[in-house]
């Protein structure tokens, strides 16, 4: 019994790592298009600009602090959502983006043709949504910013796609009000990621379950 449980968790973590890699390929394509930040990072940017923080506190520091704040809130709301994958998403996301940026940086950047940048932006959102659903359906944990929509969707019993749009709009609006910068990419990301993830969700769940049943 213990061996089966261990095997199940190993497969779940591997599925999560697979989904995390796919999702951050999408994030990299989105970032390389350089047409605006994703909604969550607009919020982080707004907080970084609005709060009277010391100069040595970076955007990344604020990102980590907000992520830990989300985890802290969830520990009181429903700690069952905080799993090993939550920490893996926090630790590995940045390095994965760095690797893909190194590989793709010379092909897609702010000097590329606008058509290529727009294609990279939209494709990035689709790939991000697909990878995110594998992470979620691995049931090994989800990144803190994605957990907000997951938890609200579960608790309200509303479709994930609609909840994700609402959450992204709230992130972007709050960030903009605090001084963050909105871009075309922010709007496209807010409108696309949730609905596309909703489409992929049942297929990713079927894929993850089939891997666990083998």
Q: With 80 as the cut, is the pLDDT of residue 11 above it?
A: yes
Q: What pLDDT does 2 receive?
A: 67
Q: With 90 as the cut, is the pLDDT of residue 187 above it?
A: yes
Structure confidence at residue 59 as a pLDDT band (50, 70, 90): confident
Structure confidence at residue 56 as a pLDDT band (50, 70, 90): confident
Counting the structural domains of the chain, the total is 1
CA atoms within 13 A on the CB side of 135: 32
Structure confidence at residue 1 as a pLDDT band (50, 70, 90): low
In degrees rounded to 5, what are phi and psi of residue 109?
-160, -175
Q: What pLDDT does 107 receive?
A: 92
- Domain that residue 187 falls in: 2-213
Q: What mean pLDDT comes out for the span 105-122?
A: 94
Q: In the chain, pLDDT over 70 holds for what percent of residues?
A: 99
Q: What pLDDT does 91 receive?
A: 87
Q: What mean pLDDT comes out for the span 60-72?
A: 90
Mean pLDDT over the full length of the chain: 92
- Write out the DSSP string of 105-151: TTTSSTTS-HHHHHHHHHHHHHHHHHHHHHHHHTTS---HHHHHHHH
């Amino acid at each position: 019994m213990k061996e089966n449980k261990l095997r199940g968790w190993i497969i779940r973590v591997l599925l999560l790592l697979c989904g995390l890699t796919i999702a951050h390929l999408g994030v990299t394509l989105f970032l390389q298009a350089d047409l605006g930040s994703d909604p969550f990072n607009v919020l982080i940017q707004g907080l970084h600009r609005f709060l009277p923080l010391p100069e040595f506190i970076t955007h990344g520091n604020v990102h980590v602090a907000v992520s830990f704040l989300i985890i802290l809130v969830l520990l009181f709301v429903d700690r069952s959502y905080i799993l090993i994958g939550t920490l893996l998403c926090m630790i590995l996301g940045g390095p994965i983006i760095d690797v893909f940026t190194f590989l793709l940086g010379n092909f897609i950047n702010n000097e590329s043709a606008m058509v290529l940048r727009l294609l990279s932006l939209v494709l990035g959102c689709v790939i991000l949504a697909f990878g995110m659903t594998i992470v979620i359906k691995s049931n090994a944990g989800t990144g803190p910013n994605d957990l907000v929509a997951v938890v609200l969707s579960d608790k309200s019993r509303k479709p994930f796609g609609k909840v994700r749009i609402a959450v992204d709009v709230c992130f972007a609006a709050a960030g903009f009000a605090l001084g963050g910068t909105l871009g075309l990419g922010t709007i496209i990301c807010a409108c696309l990621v949730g609905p596309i993830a909703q489409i992929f969700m049942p297929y990713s769940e079927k894929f993850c379950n089939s891997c666990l049943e083998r």
